[in-house]
Amino acid sequence: MQTYSVVPREYKTVNEAEAISRIKEHKRNLGKQMVILTHHYQRKELVPLGDYTGDSYYLSKVAANEKEAQHIIFCGVHFMAESARILCRPEQIVYLPNPLAGCPMADMAEIDDVLSSWKELKSVLSDSKVIPISYMNSAASLKAFCGDNDGVVCTSSNAHKAFEWGFKRGQKIFFFPDEHLGKNSCNRLKIPADEIIIWDPKKENGGNELEKIRNAKVILWKGYCHVHINFTPEHVKKIREQYPGALVVVHPECSEETVALADASGSTNFIVNYVTEAPSGSVIAIGTEINLISRLADMFPDKKILELTGQTCPMCVNMFRTTLGDLLYTLDNLGKVNIIEVDPEVKQGALLALERMLELN
């Protein structure tokens, strides 16, 4: 059961300086009783208020290792707070300051569709062991399905390791819900294209001929991130024409064609490290969410940081939902609002899959 409530108007209109000062006061008063985790895509005024900032893998590790704080505030999207809830101790309380912050990609793999696809797939592949692997961007029920069926969860930082792990335990991998991260992970492991198929849950046998399913090593759920599919190979070519010598770094939720032309690809932490380590004076075009790109531009005035498309604003509106007012409201009402709970029936399987992921690195 989630304890959601409507944010009162005064928190929507509170001015930035006042909200920051009151949030800092809560932080001083609560000390080690509370930690605030902020994902790299959060608004730039929120990030400095975080005790820890990072990618999904890093923040899930922080939640799993946090022993002192009774209150864990996750400024990110629902699947991140839900994973923290599963990984932390039962007596700790996890909060998502804006409960409407979801991930449309995670919603593309609903558990009922996964279960019926699994049944269909197993009837074709009765003599092969199929390992289900879910991207962290998924509901707890899907993580539990993976945990209960000898599978694992991964993030963008360790998907290739999860695939290697899977191939030690079975002949085939069924990966949810991001076909692009799946394809990029296969490419990294040099799995031939004709051994990879896309599974469209709306079609019979995922839209595949039976022979193709039998020959496939990797079956990729048809899903995508609406932010990252905006970045195209044409953008990479254009930026290189405009800025000869520019470096291009993208998130692996981008298409394989875009990743192939980039200089590097990796999780949001990888992108931050890539920009940090680039020499002063570098021109770096980035294919990921705009809030991270503009924060990096502010952090490194000695480097020219460009958004890869050069024209659109690749924003994750769900990450953008969380405001200073939402965080302040949550802190003013600790123990009462925006608490994330996980169905006990799925918690155990999801924990198993997440713990296997933490062991991968």
Which residue, 94 or 254, has its beta carbon nearer to ligand SF4? 254
Residues β-bridged to residue 134? 153, 176
268 touching ligand 13P, by CB under 6 A: yes
Cis amide leading into 177 (omega within 30): yes
Q: Which of 109, 131, 153, 227 binds ligand SF4 (CB under 6 A)?
A: 227
Residue 137 Cβ, how far from ligand SF4 at the closest point, in Å? Answer: 5
Contact call for residue 319 and ligand SF4 (CB under 6 A)? yes
Residue placing its CB nearer to ligand SF4 in the complex, 137 or 255: 137
Tokens of 48: 């400095």
In the numeric block, the tokens 């019926």 are attached to 116
Among positions 258-317, residues that touch ligand SF4 (CB under 6 A) are 289, 316
* Residue number with CB closer to ligand SF4 (172 or 180): 180
158 makes contact with ligand SF4 (CB under 6 A):
no
Of 94, 173, 167, 180, nearest to 137 by C-alpha is: 180
Instruction: Assess contact for 289 and 266: CB atoms under 8 A.
Output: no
Q: Which of 42, 158, 267, 309 binds ligand 13P (CB under 6 A)?
A: 267
For residue 104, the partner it binds in ligand 13P, ligand SF4, none, with Cβ less than 5 to 8 A by kind, is ligand SF4
Contact positions with ligand SF4 (CB under 6 A) in 102-121: 103-105
> By C-beta, is 288 or 338 nearer to ligand 13P?
288
Is residue 77 at the binding interface for ligand SF4, with CB under 6 A as the rule?
A: yes
Interaction of residue 55 with ligand 13P, rule CB under 6 A: yes
Q: How far is CA 162 from the centre of its chain?
A: 15
Site for ligand 13P in 131-190 (CB under 6 A): 137, 155-156
Select from 49-57, 198-206, 232-240, 331-339 the region that touches ligand 13P (CB under 6 A): 49-57
**61 or 212: whose CB is closer to ligand 13P?**
61
Nearer to ligand 13P, 337 or 353 (CB): 353
139: left (phi > 0), else alpha (psi -120 to 50), else beta?
Answer: beta
CB of 272 vs ligand 13P, minimal distance in Å: 10
Q: Considering the complex, what minimum distance in angstroms separates the CB of residue 99 from ligand SF4?
A: 15
Rounded Cα distance between 22 and 228, Å, is 35
The structure tokens listed for 22 are 């009151």
Looking at 36, 46, 96, 225, which residue binds ligand SF4 (CB under 6 A)? 225
Q: What residues between 53 and 72 interact with ligand SF4 by CB under 6 A?
A: none
When CB distances are held under 5 to 8 angstroms depending on the partner's kind, the choice from ligand SF4, ligand 13P, none that residue 81 binds is none
Chain contacts with ligand 13P (rule: CB under 6 A): 40, 55-57, 137, 155-156, 225, 251, 253, 267-268
> Residues interacting with ligand SF4, by CB under 6 A?
77, 103-105, 137, 225, 227, 253, 289, 316, 318-319
